[in-house]
Amino acid sequence: MLKGKTALITGSTSGIGLGIAKALAQQGANIVLNGFGDVEGPKAEVAALGVKVAYHGADMSKPAEIEDMMTYAAAQFGRVDILVNNAGIQHVARIENFPVERWDAIIAINMSSAFHATRLALPAMQAADNGKGWGRIINVASIHGLVASAEKSAYVAAKHGVIGLTKVTALENATSGVTCNAICPGWVLTPLVQKQVDAKAVALGVTVEEATKQLLAEKEPSMQFTTPEELGALAVFFCSPAGNNVRGVAWNMDGGWTAQ
């Protein structure tokens, strides 16, 4: 379905981003990966799906590096048709104790990077299909873009901001083939969440298994994690013809978290 298209997924060396990259690759899209840590492993996983894969190591807190990544991505396999703004970090502390440097980093990586990548991706998307436009911008927000949890001020503020940005991007392109939507996962067991589980186990003096159960029980009625594969399938739907007129939604995959 996406053969010949190029998808750039930020923060895709791990977790949800890698899951979405693989789901788009399974539909035939060529993939540009980004993120820190092991690069060769994720690259091989995507290449094994039979598509072309490239990588750019831009630090998403740095607008000049984002600009460089967007230029690089467009030069690899043609323009960026699908942009998935996914890179994100977390820090947990009460506001009065929240390190200012962590606040700035979370706002930059989790929110401002989506603005920068979007503004740089839009012109080519708008020009596609003889000026009628074709493009998909998918912002990986969070259930914390819709509701809050204590001790996550920067993350909740950034994710609410991302949902606002999603709506504006959708509206400004509403008469074209460029759509923008957000995905709002509840708990997904990635390194980002494993750190929170481990901290909980230490704080409560319980096993990691017990801490995992408690983490889910507090927020997620299904008592199960959403998987990167499930989120990847939702991204594929947004990219499909059935997603042509889905504009500006914030779509939960949260095990009932916000139904309560």
Closest CB to ligand NAD among residues 128, 216: 216
Task: Provide the residue count of the chain.
Answer: 260
- Write down the least CB distance from residue 192 to ligand NAD, Å: 3
Give the nearer residue to ligand NAD in terms of CB position, either 127 or 148: 148
Give the end-to-end CA distance of the chain in Å, rounded to a whole number: 36
Binding ligand NAD (rule: CB under 6 A), the pick from 5, 7, 9, 15 is: 15
Residue 181, phi then psi, degrees to nearest 5: -145, 160
Residues 6+ away with beta carbon under 8 Å from 191: 14, 15
Please state, in angstroms and rounded to a whole number, the distance separating the CA atoms of residues 226 and 108.
26
State which residue, 128 or 154, has the beta carbon closest to ligand NAD: 154
Smallest distance, ligand NAD to C-beta of residue 234, A? 13
Active site residue 155: yes
Q: Pick the catalytic residue: 55, 155, 187, 238? A: 155
Residues of this chain, 40-59, that bind ligand NAD according to CB under 6 A: 59
Check binding of 166 to ligand NAD (CB under 6 A).
no
Which residues, 176 to 235, sit near ligand NAD by CB under 6 A?
185, 187-188, 190-193
Rounded CA gap, 185 and 160, in Å?
A: 13
Going by their DSSP bridges, the two strands 82-85 and 135-140 should be labelled as parallel
Q: Nearest to residue 15, comparing CAs of 190, 184, 195, 139? A: 190
Contact pick of 89, 124, 127, 206 for ligand NAD (by CB under 6 A): 89
**CB-nearer residue toward ligand NAD: 61 or 118:** 61
By CB under 6 A, the residues from 91 to 110 that bind ligand NAD are 109-110
Binding-site size, ligand NAD (CB under 6 A): 29
CA torsion, ordered 239, 241, 242, 246, to nearest 10 deg: 60
Rounded to whole angstroms, how far apart are CA atoms 188 and 16? Answer: 8
Residues whose CB is less than 8 angstroms from the CB of residue 63 and which lie 6 or more positions away in sequence, other chains included: 112, 116
Cα within 13 Å of Cα(183), Cβ side: 28
Instruction: Quote the least distance from Cβ 130 to ligand NAD, whole Å.
Output: 34
Which of the ranges 72-80, 84-92, 163-171, 173-181 carries the binding residues for ligand NAD, by CB under 6 A? 84-92
Q: Does 154 bind ligand NAD (CB under 6 A)?
A: no
What is the footprint of ligand NAD within residues 105-134 (CB under 6 A)? 109-110
Measured from the CB atom, the residue of 125 and 156 that comes closer to ligand NAD is: 156
Q: Do 135 and 178 contact (CB within 8 A), yes or no?
A: yes
The residues annotated with a catalytic role in the active site are 155
- Under the rule (CB under 6 A), what is the footprint of ligand NAD? 11-17, 34-37, 59-61, 86-89, 109-110, 140, 142, 185, 187-188, 190-193
